[in-house]
Structure 1
Amino acid sequence: MPLAADQARYSAAIAGGRNMLLLSHLRILAVLGQLVTILFVQFGLGVRLPLVPMITVVGALALLNLGTLVFLTRGGIVTNRGMFLALLTDFAALSAQFYMSGGVTNPFAPIGLLQIVIGSVLLEAWSCWVLVALHSIAFGLLSLFHRPLLLPDGYAITFSPVQILASWLNFVLVAVLLVFFVTRISRNLRTRDATLAELRQRAAEEDHIVRMGLLASGAAHELGTPLSSLSVILSDWRRQPALAADPQEIGEAQAAVARCKDIVGGILYASGEARGEDLKRTTLRQFLTDVATTWSTLRPGLLAFDYRPHFDPVVVVDRTIAQILTNMLDNAHEAGAGHIQMIVEIRDGILVLTVQDDGNGFPPDMLETIGQPYRSSKDRRGAGLGLFLAVNVLRKLGGRLSVRNGPVRGAIVAISVPLVALTPEAAHG
């Protein structure tokens, strides 16, 4: 499965390229429109313009657009900075044309608002406001400094200073309002799209969990019989004189089989096939002590259990919590940890279980994708499902999982669950 961050960058790059292509098409229309207008005003209306400089600006804009199209055809990546620079180039060309053709007295002067609208849709917020500021400043300066547009008799009109000031204020007001509302509308649309994408991702993950649950439930049924047979065979072997003298290996094998049976039972319990059994009430300390003791049986001397609350609440804990903790401890051990500490805390009604180790920690590129299926530093089939399942189980309980590397080495994995979700009342409710 591709990384979410990679998918986001890829989508942004695709959208940036398409937007730049649209901007290039618009620039082609602008180049043709400017060329036709200049020639018509010069030769059709008889208004004298600085023809060579204005045609030069049009030609430079056309060459820039050609370079942009070549860049896009070669798979160039377009970022907000690139889009902003492109719009700044268009702004500079437009300002130069207006400077040479009457400034704000040019009937086309308000066309700069089109660039502001495009920028408010395509650019980040800070870029939009910079564009507004530049256009507003340019509009004000062009009212003071420009080459007069010498119109023939019958075409000439005169703007009073008050009219010019009003035109500038109107331009600034419209530009600010456009950016203000368009950027907010765009942000709302992006938020909506992000929410929909998150819902689709969550639905896909839950569907993945259902399919894995069905597969695990079927496997648990099939494993039940051979595990029971192994348990009986090991009990018989323990009574054999040849093996009774060194019962340690038989004991370890029996503990491993017992753990496998417990895992299989937990799978059936979580899938709803063990509902006939009464929920077992216990205390939080006893439950976590049992998990730590069971895990330490096969790996003695590695785990330190630190229970910090000053009280011991009665809980009814789903077996999946024990499986999550066991998986966290297994991950720490497989990461090369020589010392593992499981810390239990209760903060403002939230149960926080933290597993710290001195192993290799998580690769930096994995920290952003923790909880996605099959994202793991372990090179084996099915790796990465443990934390994926943990995230989704905790989500059902109103909890969360957080992962970070230690200050020196190792990893710190913490799960937090509302204590009320583990109470007997919640279990029966």
Structure 2
Amino acid sequence: MFSDLSQSPLSKNLQRLFLLRNIAIAAQCLTFALVYWTIDIVIPWTQMIAVVTLLALLNLLTWIRLHRNWPVSHLEFFLQLLIDVMALSTLLYFSGGSTNPFISFFLLPMTIAAATLPWRYTWIMAIITITCYTLLLFNYVPLPHDHNKHLIEFALHVSGMWLAFVLSTVIIAWFVVKMSSSIRERDQDLAKAREHALRNEQIIALGTLAAGAAHELGTPLSTMAVVAGELQQEYTQDAEFQNNIHILRDQIAHCKQTLTQLLAKAGQARAEHGSELPVDVFLNQILDKWKLIRPSVKFTYQCTGDLPAPKIMDNQLLSQSLLNLLNNAADASSECIEIKSHWDNNLELKLEIIDDGKGLSAEVMQRAGEAFFSTKAPGQGFGIGLFLANANIERFGGSVRLFNLEGGGACTQVVLPLIG
């Protein structure tokens, strides 16, 4: 395994270069063995073996370097390629120069540089490889000629050119395919980062508007409370009117209490994430609160898991997110909602909210979770409940998935991490 920084594009490219160099060293050793055992010619074996040994040593240092948490720079990668060019040039110098069939291997570092490095490094590499090729046209150690073996040498030369072309083609294709895969992964990561940034901006905007609305609603509610109190004192003889005023004052008091709690919880959320509760107690508290909010909704609840139950973060945002999902299921259901919860030894809670409605349309399946997208009638929904629920649950390390059931209806599946 390489270091944590091995996921960066340049680090991945250096890993691929390390593997390619290993292949090149193995191929050079195999070529030396074939030439030594099949062709009786005298070449500077000492110098050539020394070059391959030095290249193997440098690749060992590269392997050690890849296990360190050091970022790979464009300059470092360029120098790595330059080492390969110098090693190839030296080997070709001692083995016939430009007449060597493996002279086309100069295209490999050039192609890699063009695919991975900025244009200035690519042009520098182009100048260096052209210069090395040109020098090898005139300066090299010629291979000894034996007229009796001329036909064999020519056949081997042609075979060597074919082998060089095949290897160059395969290596270039492999590297370019890997590079394209890395580019696609980078584009996907950038798209996800942009999506998260956009969602965070929408959440901040919604939070700002909610805080402003909470402050602005305080004054009208106080005015309504005063007027309702005066009306209650003025018409003391009308029993029906007193009953209606009492209900109105209770609703106003509930609204004021909700706004007060909202502002208090918002301030609390900045300082702490919440306490910890056993998951069964946490779910029962949410369902008890939901009964008060939606007393007319019928539901069944099934809870399974080993006891004592593991704990979960008791956070107001998380609780409200689950309430939003329950409300969405209640709005879609026609008769009864089925709620199932299960936790296991993997410290993971799986919560399923199953409604008996019409199911999810293709548009809803595609756009569910988008901000301000709602299938409800105008004035009955703002299209932010599922959006905020999904965002908050993901923020706590969980996930939300919506899908249709074969027998009809839809299922909202929530997965949340637990605390041991």
Using structure 1 for the length normalisation, give the TM-score: 0.50
1:305 aligned to 301, 308, 312, which one?
A: 301
Give the Cα separation in 2 of the matches to 1:372 and 1:277: 28
Task: Single out whichever of 383-392 and 309-318 deviates more from structure 2.
Answer: 309-318
Which residue identity lines up with residue 202 of structure 1 in the other structure?
Answer: H
Q: 1:289 aligns with which of 252, 261, 284?
A: 284
Aligned equivalents of 1:200 and 1:276: distance in 2? Answer: 27
- State the 1:295 CA deviation: 2.7
1:328 — aligned with what? 325
The Cα offsets for residues 386-408 of structure 1, whole Å up to 9 and x where unpaired, read as 12212221232222222222222
Q: Distance in 2 between matches of 1:406 and 1:241?
A: 57
- Structure 2: stretches of 5+ with no match in the other structure: 1-103, 116-152
Q: Contact 1:307–1:343 at 8 Å: present in 2 too?
A: yes
Q: Residue by residue, what CA displacement relative to the aligned partner does 1:142-179 show, whole Å, maximum 9, x if unpaired?
A: xxxxxxxxxxxxxxxxx976555544433332221111
The residue number in structure 2 matching 1:100 is none
Provide Cα deviations, 1:190-212, integer angstroms capped at 9, x if missing partner: 21122122112212211221121
Tell me how far apart the structure 2 counterparts of residues 336 and 249 of structure 1 sit (CA, whole Å).
33
Q: Is the CA contact 1:360–1:410 (under 8 Å) kept in the aligned structure 2?
A: yes
Residue pairs, 1:346-357, within 5 angstroms: 346-347=343-344, 348-357=346-355
Q: Which residue of 1 aligns with 2:400?
A: 401
Distance in 1, matches of 2:216 and 2:269, equals: 16
Q: After TM superposition, give the deviation of residue 247 of structure 1 in Å.
A: 6.8
Q: After TM superposition, give the deviation of residue 359 of structure 1 in Å.
A: 1.2
Equivalent in the alignment of 2:372: 374
CA contact under 8 A between 1:346 and 1:352: conserved in structure 2? yes
Q: Map Cα deviations across residues 262-290 of structure 1 (whole Å, 9 max, x no partner).
A: 65345424532688999787654444334
Q: Which amino acid aligns with 1:392?
A: A
**Counterpart secondary structure, 2:334:** coil
| Contact in 1 for aligned 2:232/2:242 (Cα 8 Å) | no
Q: CA deviation at 1:356?
A: 1.2
CA distance in 2, matches of 1:187, 1:277: 41
Alignment of 1:337-348 (within 5 A): 337-347=334-344, 348=346
Unaligned runs of 5+ in 1: 1-109, 122-158, 424-429
Separation of aligned partners in 2, 1:162 and 1:346: 69
Give, as a single letter, the amino acid of the residue that structure 1 aligns with 2:329: A
2:197 pairs with 1:203: yes
Cα distance, 1:167–1:378 mapped onto 2, change above 3 Å: farther
Which residue identity is paired with 1:220? A
What is residue 314 of structure 2 aligned with on the other side?
Answer: 317
- Letter matched to residue 324 of structure 2: N
State the distance in 1 between where 2:225 and 2:296 align: 22
Superposed displacement of residue 358, structure 1: 1.0
User: Residues 256 and 330 of structure 1: is their aligned pair in 2 closer, same or farther, counting only changes over 3 Å?
Assistant: farther
Structure 2 residue corresponding to 1:217, chosen from 207, 211, 218 = 211
Q: Alpha carbon RMSD of aligned pairs, Å? A: 4.3
- Contact 2:214-2:263 within 8 A present in 1 as well: yes
SS of residue in 1 equivalent to 2:314? coil
Q: Aligned residue for 2:56? A: none
1:392 alignment counterpart? 391
In 2, Cα distance between equivalents of 1:168 and 1:277? 68
Residue aligned with 2:376, SS: coil
Equivalent position of 1:180 in the other structure:
174
Q: Note the 1:225-236 alignment, pairs <5 A.
A: 225-227=219-221
Residues in 2 aligned to 1:315 and 1:271: alpha-carbon distance in whole angstroms: 20
Cα distance in 1, alignment partners of residues 322 and 251 from structure 2:
17
Give the secondary-structure state (helix, strand or coil) at the position aligned to 1:272: helix
2:364, 2:252 → 1: CA distance?
33
C-alpha distance in 2 between matches for 1:255 and 1:312: 38
Amino acid at match of 2:301: F
Distance in 1 separating the partners of 2:287 and 2:386: 19
SS of equivalent to 1:271 = helix
Q: Distance in 1 between matches of 2:225 and 2:300?
A: 30
Name the SS for the 1:415 alignment partner: strand
Change (3 A) 1:398 1:279: closer
Amino acid in structure 2 at the alignment position of 1:187? S
For 1:32-43, what aligned pairs fall within 5 Å after superposition?
Answer: none
Q: Percent identity?
A: 29
Matching of residue 264 in structure 1 with residue 262 in structure 2: no
| SS state at 1:372 partner | coil
Change (3 A) 1:197 1:187: same
